[in-house]
């Protein structure tokens, strides 16, 4: 009986083994030899920003043409061109991926925003929202417990001494992993070329906002009126910036009465009017801060103290006598008061 049982199990094992070999040969798909090369050209953080679950999956999909080689957002143009080169493709000047960066839509830290109670629980934003929706009176502000910091593979996020998340633009690669990590939707991705965004995520309006946050948006719509292009609209009591319109949003940021906007450029170039000016006055009419003056028919002058560098007057000048002088000055990221959250 023992030998008979062993024989039966042996036969069954041989049949199953043979079946597995035959099935594997039928289902076997030889991987493209270029997959490893493409994968090595990628950042290797498996962030999923491309829509694939991993860098290995992106490599296979790119080879098979299911995703464009420009889909790797963190890798940027350099990675896109390298992958295209491996696959024997060529990219045009405008085919590279749009460079994005993360921004924190909240300026209300412990100095500006009131708290309802002292939270003494797990240092995690999602955990805090389960305890009375967090300690802040503002139901939409940054909780400052660092869930986004831990989600960032590039160490580009920190929590400053004021209790608000801060993005180091030099480190951020726009992968977007921090966006879903924030339970309040405070973080979003914007085109890196733009330096201005709304630093508020609050959906209340009017005087109620000022009762618990000194830098909160009151939905006054001054920014909308300051943007004739229509690139700013009010949605759910918050300004929404349409970055596809080509507007730089400088006048809107300057005119916001509660300073809700954030400008990553600490210094901006100023307007200069050359001697070719005919004194037509078109620049005077369009300047949003009354920084230009002059007599009809004579060269106009710019008050550099008033000029905000928006450049609107440049396109209005019919003789092209106006230009911007100077470069952007960026905010420093070296803040000794910043504490990291691990």
Topology of domain 34-86 in CATH is: 3-methyladenine DNA Glycosylase II; Chain A, domain 3 (1.10.15)
Predicted pLDDT at 328: 62
Please tell me whether residue 121 adopts helix, strand or coil conformation. coil
269-326 under CATH 3.30.559.10, yes or no? no
- Which range (21-30, 253-262, 270-279) has the least confidence? 21-30
Percentage of the residues of the chain whose pLDDT score is greater than 90 = 67
| C-alpha closest to that of 191 among 98, 122, 319 | 98
Tell me, yes or no, if the two domains 100-264 and 269-326 fold the same way: yes
Q: Which residue has the tokens 């896109």?
A: 80
Predicted pLDDT at 212: 96
- Whether residue 83 is predicted with pLDDT greater than 80 in this model: the reply is yes
Distance CA 121, CA 127 (A): 8
- The pLDDT-based confidence of 297 (bands split at 50, 70, 90) is very high
Distance CA 221, CA 228 (A): 12
- For the chain, the structural domain boundaries read 34-86, 100-264, 269-326
Computed over every residue of the chain, the mean pLDDT equals 87
Q: Are 254 and 306 in contact (CB under 8 A)?
A: no
| C-alpha closest to that of 190 among 181, 182, 179, 201 | 179
Q: What is the DSSP string of 190-246?
A: EETT--EEE-------THHHHTTBTT------HHHHT-TTS-EEEETTEEEE-GGG-
Pick the CATH number of 100-264 from 3.40.50.1580, 3.30.70.20, 3.40.50.300, 3.30.300.20: 3.30.70.20
Predicted pLDDT at 49: 82
Question: Which tokens go with 95?
Answer: 């085919």
Mean pLDDT of 249-270: 94
Predicted pLDDT at 2: 59
Give 165 or 68, the one with higher predicted confidence.
Answer: 165
Distance CA 165, CA 149 (A): 8
Could you give the count of Cα atoms lying within 13 Å of 40 in the half-sphere of its Cβ?
6
pLDDT digits (tens, 9 = 90+) for 103-148: 999 999 999 999 999 999 999 999 999 988 999 999 999 999 999 9
Is 19 buried (19+), middle (13-18) or exposed (0-12) by CB count in 10 A? exposed
């Amino acid at each position: 009986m023992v030998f008979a049982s062993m024989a039966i199990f042996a036969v069954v094992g041989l049949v199953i083994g043979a079946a597995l070999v035959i099935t594997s040969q039928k289902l076997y798909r030889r991987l493209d030899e270029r997959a490893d090369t493409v994968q090595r050209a990628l950042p290797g953080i498996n962030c999923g920003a491309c829509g694939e679950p991993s860098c290995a999956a992106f490599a296979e999909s790119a080879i098979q043409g299911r995703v464009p080689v420009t889909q790797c957002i963190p890798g940027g143009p350099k990675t896109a061109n390298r992958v295209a080169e491996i696959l024997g493709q060529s990219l045009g000047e405008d085919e590279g991926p749009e460079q994005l960066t993360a921004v924190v839509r909240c300026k209300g830290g412990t100095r500006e925003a009131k708290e309802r109670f002292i939270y003494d629980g797990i240092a995690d934003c999602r955990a805090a929202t389960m305890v009375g929706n967090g300690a802040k009176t503002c139901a939409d502000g940054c909780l400052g417990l660092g869930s986004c910091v831990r989600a960032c593979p590039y160490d580009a996020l920190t929590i400053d001494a004021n209790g608000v998340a801060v993005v180091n633009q030099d480190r951020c690669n726009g992968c977007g992993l921090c966006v879903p990590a924030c339970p309040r939707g405070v973080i979003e991705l914007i085109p890196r070329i733009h330096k201005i965004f709304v630093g508020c995520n609050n959906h209340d309006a009017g005087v109620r906002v000022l009762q618990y946050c000194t830098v909160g948006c009151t939905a006054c719509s001054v920014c909308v009126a300051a943007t004739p292009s229509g690139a700013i609209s009010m949605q759910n009591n918050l300004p929404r910036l349409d970055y596809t319109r080509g507007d730089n949003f400088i006048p809107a940021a300057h005119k916001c009465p509660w300073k809700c906007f954030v400008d990553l450029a600490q210094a901006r170039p100023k307007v200069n009017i050359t001697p070719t000016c005919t004194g037509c006055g078109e620049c005077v009419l369009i300047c949003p801060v009354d920084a230009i003056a002059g007599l009809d028919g004579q060269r106009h002058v710019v008050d550099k103290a008033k000029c905000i560098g928006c450049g609107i007057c440049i396109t209005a000048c019919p003789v092209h006598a106006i230009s911007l002088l100077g470069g952007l000055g960026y905010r420093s990221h070296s803040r000794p008061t910043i504490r990291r959250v691990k």
